[in-house]
Amino acid sequence: MQEIETKIAASPNFKHYNRKPGMVVDSRTNEEYIYDSLDTKILVYEDRVAGWFFRYGKHLQMHHDAGFIVLQVALAQIEGIEQYRRGQSSENKSGLFFRKGLKRIFGLDESSDDWLKDFYTLVRCGLFHDGMTRRQVWIENRFDAPLAYDGAHIQISPNKFLDAVIEDFTHYIAELKNPLNVDLREAFRRKWDLRCRVQ
């Protein structure tokens, strides 16, 4: 009996085939890659985030009332990227990792830590746990800055916020692809292996 070929997506463009164990195939070029290679893992990670999240976030930016979902797409990646940068799980340290990511992306210093704790609770946890941001949060694409705090309200321009997160991710991927960045690449590998481990 002939074996039926099955295909499982590792990412939008990279596929696992049962007849090619240990490999992934780029469906755009039919090129085969060893899945356990660090460089392949970086390509798959880039394709996952860009293709399954940012691609659709960018599409939604065209819709006036899509600000909350655009913001949610951006927020979903901040803590994850920080985990890969550090090579650690954020378990029991979610807020800390999230704030570190925000500070890096938006060039914020330690003096912003108090309101960033509020951001984590009111915006990130609000959207992911309540399905809506909580009090004292203003969302408007006409704001000049992607993220600001006026002393009373957190102000977010969702489209600019997403663009900033995408720019940070793009820079991170470029760093990862450079073999000279040994520590950064090793941190990525550690986090990838943690992600794949059954808890």
- Which residues lie below 8 Å from residue 18, measured CB to CB, with a gap of 6+? 3, 5, 6
pLDDT digits (tens, 9 = 90+) for 63-99: 989 999 999 999 999 999 999 999 999 999 999 999 9
pLDDT value, residue 6: 79
pLDDT value, residue 195: 73
pLDDT value, residue 199: 33
Q: What is the mean pLDDT of residues 6-18?
A: 92
